[in-house]
Amino acid sequence: MLPEIPSEIPQTNYRLISSLANKSLTFFGWKIVGDFPRESKFILAVAPYTSNWDFIVSVLVMLSLNLKVTFMGKKSIFIWPLKWFLIKIGGVPIKREHPQGVVGQMVEVFNQSNGMILGLSPEGTRSKTKQWKTGFIIIAQQANVPIVPISLDFKKKEVEIHGSYFVKDNVEQALSEIKGQFVDVCAKNPHLV
Protein backbone atom coordinates (compact mmCIF):
# COMPACT_ATOMS: atom_id res chain seq x y z
CA MET A 1 0.00 0.00 0.00
CA LEU A 2 1.31 3.44 -0.96
CA PRO A 3 1.51 6.22 1.64
CA GLU A 4 -1.21 8.84 1.86
CA ILE A 5 -0.19 12.07 0.20
CA PRO A 6 -1.78 15.24 1.62
CA SER A 7 -3.38 17.45 -1.03
CA GLU A 8 -1.05 20.35 -0.18
CA ILE A 9 2.01 18.44 -1.42
CA PRO A 10 3.08 19.31 -4.99
CA GLN A 11 2.06 16.50 -7.34
CA THR A 12 2.40 15.79 -11.03
CA ASN A 13 -0.36 14.36 -13.16
CA TYR A 14 1.29 11.42 -14.90
CA ARG A 15 -0.93 8.46 -14.01
CA LEU A 16 0.51 6.07 -16.59
CA ILE A 17 4.11 6.81 -15.58
CA SER A 18 3.12 6.55 -11.92
CA SER A 19 1.54 3.15 -12.50
CA LEU A 20 4.58 1.85 -14.41
CA ALA A 21 6.97 3.08 -11.71
CA ASN A 22 4.86 1.47 -8.98
CA LYS A 23 4.81 -1.84 -10.88
CA SER A 24 8.59 -1.64 -11.33
CA LEU A 25 9.14 -1.17 -7.59
CA THR A 26 6.79 -4.05 -6.83
CA PHE A 27 8.47 -6.28 -9.43
CA PHE A 28 11.87 -5.69 -7.81
CA GLY A 29 10.43 -6.29 -4.31
CA TRP A 30 10.53 -2.71 -2.97
CA LYS A 31 7.91 -1.26 -0.63
CA ILE A 32 7.28 2.25 0.70
CA VAL A 33 6.59 2.70 4.43
CA GLY A 34 5.41 5.84 6.25
CA ASP A 35 3.52 9.00 5.35
CA PHE A 36 4.45 12.49 4.29
CA PRO A 37 3.86 15.55 6.50
CA ARG A 38 1.00 17.97 5.95
CA GLU A 39 3.32 20.85 4.99
CA SER A 40 3.46 21.97 1.36
CA LYS A 41 7.18 22.76 1.59
CA PHE A 42 9.88 20.48 2.99
CA ILE A 43 13.25 18.88 2.34
CA LEU A 44 13.58 15.15 1.71
CA ALA A 45 16.95 13.96 3.06
CA VAL A 46 17.48 10.65 1.25
CA ALA A 47 20.22 8.34 2.57
CA PRO A 48 22.38 6.36 2.47
CA TYR A 49 23.72 7.35 -0.94
CA THR A 50 26.39 4.89 -2.10
CA SER A 51 25.34 3.90 -5.62
CA ASN A 52 23.63 5.11 -8.79
CA TRP A 53 20.89 2.61 -7.86
CA ASP A 54 19.92 4.95 -5.00
CA PHE A 55 19.01 7.60 -7.55
CA ILE A 56 17.09 5.10 -9.69
CA VAL A 57 15.07 3.78 -6.72
CA SER A 58 14.42 7.37 -5.56
CA VAL A 59 13.14 8.41 -9.00
CA LEU A 60 10.88 5.33 -9.18
CA VAL A 61 9.46 6.19 -5.74
CA MET A 62 8.92 9.82 -6.77
CA LEU A 63 7.19 8.77 -9.99
CA SER A 64 5.10 6.02 -8.34
CA LEU A 65 3.82 8.46 -5.71
CA ASN A 66 3.23 11.08 -8.41
CA LEU A 67 5.30 13.62 -6.47
CA LYS A 68 6.89 16.70 -7.93
CA VAL A 69 10.32 16.75 -6.31
CA THR A 70 13.00 19.32 -7.02
CA PHE A 71 16.56 18.06 -6.79
CA MET A 72 19.91 19.74 -7.26
CA GLY A 73 22.63 18.39 -9.51
CA LYS A 74 26.02 19.47 -10.73
CA LYS A 75 25.62 21.53 -13.87
CA SER A 76 27.99 19.08 -15.61
CA ILE A 77 25.42 16.22 -15.52
CA PHE A 78 22.81 18.33 -17.34
CA ILE A 79 24.07 17.43 -20.81
CA TRP A 80 22.44 15.87 -23.85
CA PRO A 81 20.69 13.40 -23.90
CA LEU A 82 19.92 13.49 -20.13
CA LYS A 83 19.34 17.24 -19.76
CA TRP A 84 15.71 17.26 -20.97
CA PHE A 85 14.76 14.27 -18.80
CA LEU A 86 16.50 15.57 -15.65
CA ILE A 87 14.82 18.97 -15.92
CA LYS A 88 11.44 17.37 -16.69
CA ILE A 89 11.54 15.29 -13.50
CA GLY A 90 12.57 18.25 -11.29
CA GLY A 91 16.31 18.64 -11.70
CA VAL A 92 17.93 22.02 -11.11
CA PRO A 93 21.48 22.55 -12.41
CA ILE A 94 23.50 24.17 -9.63
CA LYS A 95 26.13 26.82 -10.28
CA ARG A 96 28.51 26.54 -7.36
CA GLU A 97 30.14 29.86 -8.24
CA HIS A 98 26.84 31.77 -7.79
CA PRO A 99 27.25 34.82 -5.47
CA GLN A 100 24.58 33.56 -3.01
CA GLY A 101 26.01 30.06 -2.98
CA VAL A 102 23.91 26.90 -3.18
CA VAL A 103 22.25 27.49 0.21
CA GLY A 104 21.23 31.06 -0.62
CA GLN A 105 19.85 30.04 -4.01
CA MET A 106 17.68 27.29 -2.53
CA VAL A 107 16.41 29.42 0.39
CA GLU A 108 15.31 32.03 -2.14
CA VAL A 109 13.55 29.37 -4.26
CA PHE A 110 11.71 28.08 -1.15
CA ASN A 111 10.70 31.59 -0.11
CA GLN A 112 9.27 32.33 -3.56
CA SER A 113 7.36 29.04 -3.81
CA ASN A 114 3.87 28.16 -2.57
CA GLY A 115 4.73 24.48 -2.48
CA MET A 116 8.02 22.69 -3.02
CA ILE A 117 9.72 19.46 -2.08
CA LEU A 118 13.51 19.52 -2.30
CA GLY A 119 15.07 16.06 -2.46
CA LEU A 120 18.76 15.64 -1.74
CA SER A 121 21.46 13.38 -0.40
CA PRO A 122 22.95 14.65 2.89
CA GLU A 123 26.26 12.92 2.12
CA GLY A 124 26.66 14.94 -1.07
CA THR A 125 28.61 12.10 -2.73
CA ARG A 126 28.45 8.37 -3.44
CA SER A 127 31.99 7.97 -2.11
CA LYS A 128 32.79 7.13 1.51
CA THR A 129 32.62 10.24 3.65
CA LYS A 130 33.14 10.80 7.36
CA GLN A 131 30.86 13.80 7.63
CA TRP A 132 27.53 14.71 6.03
CA LYS A 133 27.08 18.16 4.51
CA THR A 134 25.17 20.67 6.65
CA GLY A 135 23.81 22.79 3.79
CA PHE A 136 20.43 21.02 3.80
CA ILE A 137 20.00 21.80 7.50
CA ILE A 138 20.89 25.46 6.97
CA ILE A 139 18.46 25.66 4.03
CA ALA A 140 15.69 24.15 6.22
CA GLN A 141 16.51 26.51 9.09
CA GLN A 142 16.63 29.69 6.96
CA ALA A 143 13.58 28.78 4.84
CA ASN A 144 11.68 27.61 7.95
CA VAL A 145 10.77 24.23 6.43
CA PRO A 146 10.99 20.75 7.98
CA ILE A 147 13.35 17.97 6.97
CA VAL A 148 11.79 14.58 6.21
CA PRO A 149 14.43 11.81 6.35
CA ILE A 150 13.91 9.02 3.80
CA SER A 151 15.94 5.83 4.15
CA LEU A 152 16.73 3.39 1.34
CA ASP A 153 17.31 -0.04 2.87
CA PHE A 154 18.61 -2.46 0.24
CA LYS A 155 18.52 -5.46 2.57
CA LYS A 156 14.82 -5.03 3.41
CA LYS A 157 14.09 -3.42 0.01
CA GLU A 158 12.24 -0.74 1.92
CA VAL A 159 11.92 3.00 1.42
CA GLU A 160 10.95 4.52 4.78
CA ILE A 161 9.49 7.99 5.18
CA HIS A 162 10.48 9.13 8.69
CA GLY A 163 8.78 11.86 10.74
CA SER A 164 9.33 15.58 10.10
CA TYR A 165 12.25 17.26 11.82
CA PHE A 166 12.23 21.01 12.48
CA VAL A 167 15.68 22.54 12.92
CA LYS A 168 16.14 24.71 16.00
CA ASP A 169 19.35 26.69 16.57
CA ASN A 170 22.05 24.03 16.77
CA VAL A 171 23.00 22.77 13.30
CA GLU A 172 25.42 20.09 14.61
CA GLN A 173 22.79 18.70 17.01
CA ALA A 174 20.24 18.60 14.17
CA LEU A 175 22.74 16.77 11.98
CA SER A 176 23.44 14.21 14.70
CA GLU A 177 19.73 13.59 15.39
CA ILE A 178 18.83 13.24 11.70
CA LYS A 179 21.84 11.00 11.02
CA GLY A 180 20.75 8.80 13.95
CA GLN A 181 17.62 7.79 12.03
CA PHE A 182 19.78 5.95 9.47
CA VAL A 183 21.89 3.85 11.88
CA ASP A 184 20.34 0.45 11.08
CA VAL A 185 19.73 1.08 7.37
CA CYS A 186 21.59 -1.18 4.91
CA ALA A 187 23.06 0.74 1.96
CA LYS A 188 23.55 -0.74 -1.51
CA ASN A 189 27.30 -0.56 -0.81
CA PRO A 190 27.60 -0.80 3.02
CA HIS A 191 31.40 -0.41 2.92
CA LEU A 192 30.90 3.20 1.72
CA VAL A 193 28.79 4.27 4.72
- Which sequence spans correspond to the domains of the chain? 31-184
Tell me which residue of 175, 114, 163 sits closest to 139, measured CA to CA.
175
Q: Identify each DSSP E strand in 65-123 by its residue range.
A: 69-74, 91-94, 116-120
Kindly report the number of other CB atoms within 10 A of residue 141's CB atom.
20
Q: pLDDT-based confidence at 127, cuts 50/70/90?
A: low
Mean pLDDT of the chain: 84
Residue 38 has pLDDT above 70, yes or no: yes
Q: What is the pTM of this model?
A: 0.83
pLDDT score at 13: 63
| Burial bucket for residue 163 (CB in 10 Å: 0-12, 13-18, 19+) | exposed
Q: Report the distance separating Cα 43 and Cα 110, nearest Å.
A: 10
Distances (CA, A) of 106 to 73, 112, 117, 152, 157: 12, 10, 11, 24, 31
| Burial bucket for residue 151 (CB in 10 Å: 0-12, 13-18, 19+) | buried
Residue 108 has pLDDT above 90, yes or no: no
Q: What is the mean pLDDT of residues 102-116?
A: 85
pLDDT score at 1: 45
pLDDT score at 133: 82
Residue 2 has pLDDT above 80, yes or no: no
